[in-house]
């Protein structure tokens, strides 16, 4: 639990104090999308297929610390520094670097005991994180295009 609490403090401190390249509405909308995306994914992979979970089997209030303490801050940091005007190679490197970081963070989460596998493997996550970050980025690009047309 100490790793989770430290993560919440570090990620939220960074997310709060970084110079923002996003409006509050963009942050809010992006976090809502990311939350729904995460919850749908977890619903199927945890509840239906029992591939992994947080803490112990079954829903627990402690999971809310992960959902609302870690994920929103990480998504804010990721999107805030995304090189939208950079070359494609820069964007690919950025996504792969974040995927590597989050894979390492997931490994540490398993070691700390707040996340567990029951059929899932870290390699699956390493392969899926670039796709997940692309989906989050695409959603944000669509959001910005919608805002410009308003």
In the chain, where are the structural domains located?
2-13+24-149
Q: Which of 34-48, 91-105, 127-141 has the weakest average pLDDT?
A: 34-48
What distance in Å separates the CA atoms of residue 74 and residue 148, rounded to the nearest whole number?
A: 25
Q: Which residue from 103, 31, 25 is spatially nearest to 71, judged by alpha carbons? A: 31
Report, in angstroms and rounded to the nearest whole number, the Rg of the chain calculated over CA atoms.
16
Mean pLDDT, the chain, whole residue set: 94
% of the chain surpassing 90 pLDDT: 83
19-22, long-range: CB within 8 Å, 24+ apart, which pairs? 20/80, 21/80, 21/81, 22/76, 22/79, 22/80
What distance in Å separates the CA atoms of residue 108 and residue 115, rounded to the nearest whole number?
A: 9
Bridge partners (DSSP) listed for residue 115: 54
DSSP state of 118: S
DSSP state of 43: I
Average pLDDT over residues 13-24: 95
What distance in Å separates the CA atoms of residue 27 and residue 115, rounded to the nearest whole number?
A: 26
% of the chain surpassing 70 pLDDT: 100
Asked if residue 150 has pLDDT above 80, the reply is no
**Residue-wise pLDDT tens digits, 73-124:** 999 999 999 999 999 999 999 999 999 999 999 999 999 999 999 999 999 9
């Amino acid at each position: 639990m100490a790793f989770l609490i430290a993560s919440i403090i570090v990620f939220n401190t960074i997310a709060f104090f970084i110079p923002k390249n996003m409006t509050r509405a963009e942050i809010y909308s992006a976090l809502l999308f990311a939350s729904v995306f995460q919850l749908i994914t977890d619903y199927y992979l945890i509840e239906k297929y029992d591939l992994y979970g947080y803490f112990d089997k079954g829903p627990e209030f402690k999971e809310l610390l992960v959902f609302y303490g870690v994920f929103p801050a990480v998504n804010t940091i990721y999107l805030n520094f995304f090189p939208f005007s950079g070359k494609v190679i820069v964007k690919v490197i950025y996504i792969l670097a974040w995927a590597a970081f989050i894979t390492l963070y997931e490994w540490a989460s398993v070691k700390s005991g707040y996340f567990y596998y029951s059929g899932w493997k870290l390699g699956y996550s390493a392969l899926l994180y670039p796709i997940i970050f692309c989906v989050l980025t695409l959603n944000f690009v669509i959001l910005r295009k919608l805002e410009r047309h308003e």
